[in-house]
Amino acid sequence: MSSIAISGRPEKPRLLSTPKKNRKPASITTQADSWCTTWKDSIDRIITDRQFKQILEDIFDLSRDVRLLLRILSAAVASLTPSSPWLTVGTISRSIQSQCAPLPFIFLQELEYPCVALLVATQHIHDRGHDVFTFKMLCDEIKRELGNEAITKALVQVQGRGFGLIRVPESVLEAAFERLVAHNVLVLAGPASSSTRRAYVKYRCVPDRSDIKEAVERLGHSAMKRWFVQGASN
């Protein structure tokens, strides 16, 4: 019986290799790296932008709330689109408008000195236990602080520095008073009689002490600050 010799080993079947699931084409990886670099550059530009920093500083000065800043920045990023993929000052401004309710007395920080002096006077009258006052009472309070009963004075500022006290006609304070009334900062405390002179009509102040404090601090006059914090004159 003849034997059949089998030489060599049978070849193993070759299996086709499958590509790894997470492997990305080189072109896609290059595009992603390029986009990340461009995004980082855009962030570097926005955080060094003077206007951007000023906007965030102003918002924080008003709110003192870091969470609000996070909401503003998060909303700005969420609003980006393929056609507008970069953060800009305009994007941040629109986010602020959507995230922040308008502050009712934000314009107080832009008031001129006679208006601020009147508001500080309302606080001193309040410290004496009177929530209702007249224009005449405010003028008397300012005169008392300035130490001159003959003429009304107000605080002024020259080139950002406190210049001291100068004489201001009562008509200037009256115009400032009318402006506060027009903006509903000062409102009638009750029905006014037609026979009552305007200087003796009773009003009350709507903004609270913190609002007026912001106006005083933004004014930046040291004498006004001292008057605000010292309490009612005896």
Domain ranges of the chain: 36-98, 106-231
Can you give the pTM of this predicted structure?
Answer: 0.52
Comparing 94-103, 114-123, 204-213, the range with the smallest average pLDDT is: 94-103
- Percentages helix, strand, coil for the chain (3-state, rounded to 5) are 55, 10, 35
CA distance 185 to 178: 10
Average pLDDT for the chain: 77
What average pLDDT score do residues 11-31 get?
A: 58
More confident residue, 148 or 44: 44
pLDDT at 121: 93
Query: Could you tell me the two tokens for 62?
Result: 């008003």
Is CATH 2.60.120 what the domain over 106-231 is classified as, yes or no?
no
Q: Using CA atoms in the order 128, 129, 133, 135, what is the torsion angle rounded to 10 degrees?
A: 10
Per-residue pLDDT of 154-200, as tens digits, reads 445 444 444 455 556 789 999 999 999 998 899 998 777 777 888 89
